[in-house]
Structures are given as structure tokens and as C-alpha cells.
Amino acid sequence: MALNEVADANTAPEITTASPVGKPARPNYNQLHAKPFPLDVHPIPTFIPHNPFSVLHIAYVVISQIIFPPQSHPPVPHKAHFSAKTRSVNVVSPTSVRALWESGFFGKGTLSRSEPTWLERERRRRGLSTDETAEEITNRRREERREMKRERARKEREMVEDQLKKEGKKDLGMNGFNGVLHTQSTTLSERDKPQDAKPANGTILQNNTAGIHSKDPDLPSDGTFGSVVALGTTHGPNTSVEQDADTIQDQESLQLSYEEAFFLTYGLGVLDICFDDTQHSISNVDLFQLFRQHSYFPARSSSALKPDDQFLLSYVVYHHFRSLGWVVRDGIKFAVDYLLYNRGPAFSHAEFAVVIVPAYEDPYWFETPARSAETKKKISKSWWWLHGINRVQAQVRKTLVLVYVEVPPPGCKDGVDVDIQDIGCVLQRYKVREFILKRWTPNRNRD
């Protein structure tokens, strides 16, 4: 299978789809996230039995790719920096950020919830753009749902009051009940009402732009702040929108987890990681050892590492599901290790929630009483823990998957730790077993 280089994300034309009148055009995610990895794959054409000319097409493609083999990786690998102080791997280049996010949904924005959209949100806040980001669409939908709930509560209150009036019980001891309904509706409305903004410099900005009170001596006392543009952004009389657009610098970077960074470096070979203070690249063996050390807090030395390191177990599971075509994202939001998406968070919600469970089945872990006691302490989990996680996944409509990772005994060859010599040999020693667990509900599971 031949591969081609990754296209530049910044130079690619903006892909949008037609939308109804009055709504902004949304990007075409099918084309934007067409590639599952930051690699360009050129497969061989399909053979059609009833079309003999398809054989000629296949032969032509194979011969042309043998003579002129296309490149699978970008000419210059994406750069990332590892920081031991923040225990993170960050990608700063905007081109690399968009390429890694759009081709596989790797990492998250440091100033965003998931997709790095800080620059677009900042332009919209300053009135330089009218396109909505994914976070703004989510906030708008949540506000619409809150408004719908307020309207539903108001209609229910009116229906109760009308029914009480028809029954003649409006003034016969039911005023307290009406008062409770009115209080609940009022509390809901006041809770969702936007509050006045109070920045740290002492300036108090109210919702109405007519009367703005300020405690800042540098601001004018008459309440005028220059010409007001869209979205509540203020500009001076001599400031142009084009100048603001040029002066905005993207302050957001793409933060990768240890598993994502090592998969891009070792599994795909499209990422080059170096330290913050140096520009020298870290080899895969050193990076593997470094991530294992920093999976503990505080970081351990090389001699204190064990086969059940948190990074080793997590990466084995991450590599397993990524190789099967799943989009693997962090699942701390739902109290699990990973979330599995069919295509990505831009298309649908996660279908499965993964919990990693280490399995110590080798006799080595129970040879001595001390080692056996330590192993039993590691694998001890209560039913309350399992039911709690399963209940959370049932509420968010996700299927819980228990992934058992068989931990091998520490292996040495000629007095040298094999974990440092061959990464592939280390990963092959781990075995993964998947077990789906569903919550049993009596009124639904009567069979």
C-alpha cells in the first residue's frame, strides 16, 4: 500500500456545506476529517470481475507506484516539546495542530474544551468573525434547553392554577402549593439570568451598554468607550478591524497525552519530540523510558520501574483500539480510562467506555507471601466501585468495557532489561481481553 504526504492544513481551502437561510454555514466534517491518521494512503484499485480493464488499471497503479513511490509521511515531521515540570507534551505550530486534530482527533486545545478553537472564539469576541465554534454551538443549545424548561414550567403552573380555579380550590388552602410553584419557577429564571461581569481590575460592566459604570481611572467618566462593534466589542475611533485581525496571536497549543504522543512517534512516525530547553530529538527508546518514569508521581528512576507501570498498561490498550480503527479519547469526564468513538467526537457521541483492569495470572506474582499480598492489594476492587461506574455509563448511554491486560513477569536477558532494548518485544508480551458489562434492570430484563 503506497502513501502520500500530508497536505498543509492552513493552505487547504475552507470546506463548508450549505445551510438554511439565517444560519451560518457549517464545515463539511466528512471531508475535513476524511483521514483517520495524519498520513495519506493510496490504496490499490478494486478488482472488478466482470470488467477485464480493471486488471490493466491495477497493473498501471502498481507499476507507477513501484517506479515513483509516493511518500507516506510529511517531508518535515511535526514538532512537539516535552516539559518535565508540567508533565505534558505540547504542539505549538498551527499547521501541526490542525493536522493532528483533523486527522485522528489527537490531543486537546490548552484553552478549549476539546478542539483548539481559541483563535476563532477570540476573533468572534472582538467582532472580527461571525462563524460559530463548536463550544459556542453547545452553549447556545444549552441556553435553548434552559429556556424550553422555563417555558414548560410556566405552562405547567398555569395549568395547575386553571384546574384549581375550576375546582374552586384556589383560595381554600392551596395558596401554599401555588406559592411553591411560583417560587420554583422564579428561582429557575433568576438562576439562569446573566449576572454582571466583574473583572479583576475593578471595572463593573453591566448587561446594558447605555449605563456603564467604571472604577478604573484610565476609562472616561462619561461612560463612552468608543464605537461599539458586534458582540459587545469596543474599539477606539482610530482603530481598524483589519489591524486587530493582524495583531491577534494564537496563544493556544495542542496538548497530547503520553499515550497519544508515543503512538504518533513510535506507531506512526509523524511526530518528533524534544525537550523544552534543547532542540535535540528524543529517540523512541528514551521516550519510552521517559514516559514510564513520569507515569508515577513523583517520577521514579529507571531501576524502580515495573511491568505494571501505568503508562505501559494504558498504552497497550490505546495502541490496541487505535489499530482496530477506533478514535480513542480520554474518559476522565465519565470516570473511565478511555472513550471509544466510531469516527470521532465531531460526528457522534462515544459508544463505549473503557476501564483498564490489570490481570496478574502468571505464577511469578504469587511466588512469595510478600509479593502475593502486594498483588492482591493491587487487584482488589469492591462491588460498589463497579456498580458506581456502571451506573454512570448507563446514565450517559454508553456501554462499559472492562479490558483485562495480562501483566507479564519482569524479563531480563543476560542481565540487561529487555524493556529498554526492544519496544516491540515488550508490547508483544502483553495480552488484552475485552469484557462488556451491562447494567441489569429488573423491569427491562425479566427473561
At residue 417, the pLDDT reads 57
At residue 230, the pLDDT reads 39
At residue 126, the pLDDT reads 86
**413-417 — which CB contacts under 8 Å span 24+ positions?**
none
Contact 80, 271 (CB under 8 A): yes
At residue 266, the pLDDT reads 95
Whether pTM > 0.85 for this model: the answer is no
At residue 93, the pLDDT reads 93
Under DSSP, the state recorded for 385 is H
Q: H or E stretch including 330?
A: strand 327-330
At residue 235, the pLDDT reads 46
One digit per residue, the tens of pLDDT, for the chain of length 447 reads 443 433 443 444 445 555 555 566 677 888 889 899 999 888 888 888 888 888 899 999 999 989 998 888 888 899 999 988 888 899 999 999 999 999 999 999 999 988 998 988 888 888 887 777 777 888 888 899 999 999 999 999 999 999 888 888 765 444 544 454 454 545 444 555 544 444 444 444 444 434 434 444 444 444 444 433 334 444 444 445 455 556 788 899 999 999 999 999 999 999 999 998 787 899 999 999 999 999 998 899 888 889 999 999 999 999 999 999 999 999 999 999 999 999 999 999 999 999 999 999 999 999 999 999 999 999 988 989 999 999 999 999 999 999 999 999 987 654 555 556 789 988 999 999 999 998 777 776 665
Contact 310, 296 (CB under 8 A): yes
Give the Cα separation of 415 and 418 in Å (integer).
9
Nearest to 427 by CA among 318, 324, 275: 318
CA angle 367, 368, 373 (to 5 degrees): 105
Nearest to 389 by CA among 437, 350, 345, 347: 437
